[in-house]
Amino acid sequence: MGTTPLAGLKVVEVGQAVAAPLAGVILAELGAEVIKVEKPEGGDDARLWGPPWVGETGLSFHAYNRGKRGVTLDLKSPADVAQLKTLAKDADILIQNLRPGVVEELGIGPEDMLAANPRLIYCSIWAFGYTGPLRLAPGFDPLLQAYGAMMSVTGGPDDPPTFAGAAINDKTTAMWCVIGALAALRQRDATGQGCVVDTSLFESAVALVETPLNGYLASGRMPPRHGTGSPNLVPYQTFDTADRPICVAAGNQRLWVKFTQAVGHPEWAEDPRFRTGRDRTANRAPLVAAISPVLLERTREHWMEAFTRAGVPCAPVNNLAELAETPQLAAMDLLRTLPGTDLRVVGVPISFDRERPRPRTAAPSLGQDNQQVLNRK
């Protein structure tokens, strides 16, 4: 790739853990210069998140901080706060996810930083948001999965509240932060003025349960949990086969008819209980009970071939080892080796002119760029 989309932008990241650092990684791999500010003693807490470990540093830190320059500032020191303001004077974007209320205490809140640089896009990532009774509450991804009702709609009907395997609120919030920052830059092109961009794990959590929450607001009824199944489409879930599970997505009437033919039961398409999508949703239990023993008669490979031949969308239920070896992952060139290391991590899921951005450097060591950026050792 030639000129990267965000070449020439300067970003200051005062962040730790996942959300702010991931937002910084996205901007860095799109071409921005990202300067990561860490506390001198220990740095970003994620440096100690392992296993796996790379030397004394957890792999998560390497993944979420690649391509950045690294400096240390003690933001309890007025001199270091002044140095941060100097860094931000010619910056385009500042991202912070410090504990709620801390930036105001330190004198690096949006009013202070925009006074130093009126063109700055000041991005705050909160736990619960910039206002309300929980404004100052701390937050981590599982807390927001719990508070934001995500756990209540995940899993089977008899399961306890179930945690999603990925830190989905952290990662979604990072993306919203980047979207907001880029939109604010476009606004600055027109007005010449910076602005404050706020997002939070809570808002992301609510946005992610939008469909079931909208349904509850419309009906007053709590949605049941269907395990791997969709609440609106049937069959649209995983099924066991004679050896390994498969996921089937017969998401419309045409695909339903094809599905019945592929499994050798075309009569199901005319059964009044299953004829339309609404019928199938209303009669989910007897339909799943009819399908399940049929799929158990043959292997996953057999059903993959049968469904693919019939044009019914399906997929194997891969584990991580299987995913890592899929030809599709290799074809999409989604894994990136961090420069100067043998570490492979997932790259940004976007390409420009069919080329995916690459990390320019590995994650910085603590205070690595103090001399070059801050003119001090």
Q: How many CB atoms lie within 10 A of CB 123?
A: 27
Looking at the chain, which runs of residues are DSSP E strands? 10-14, 33-38, 53-54, 57-58, 69-72, 93-96, 121-126, 195-200, 236-239, 246-249, 314-316, 335-337, 344-346
Catalytic sites, residue numbers? 170
Distances (CA, A) of 111 to 104, 107, 119, 137: 9, 9, 12, 21
DSSP code for 374: I
Nearest by Cα to 219 from 209, 211, 227: 211
Phi-psi region of 355 (alpha: psi -120 to 50; beta: other; left: phi over 0): beta
Helices 210-219 and 201-208 pack at an angle, to 10 degrees, of: 70
CA distance 306 to 237: 17
Q: Residue 302 corresponds to which amino acid? A: H
Contact residues for 117 (Cβ-Cβ < 8 A; gap 6+)? 88, 89, 90, 91, 194
Query: Which residues make beta-bridge pairs with 198?
Result: 124
Q: Do 154 and 166 touch, CB atoms closer than 8 A?
A: no
Phi-psi region of 360 (alpha: psi -120 to 50; beta: other; left: phi over 0): alpha
From the number of C-beta atoms within 10 Å of its C-beta (0-12, 13-18, 19+), residue 337 rates as: middle
CA distance 154 to 227: 7
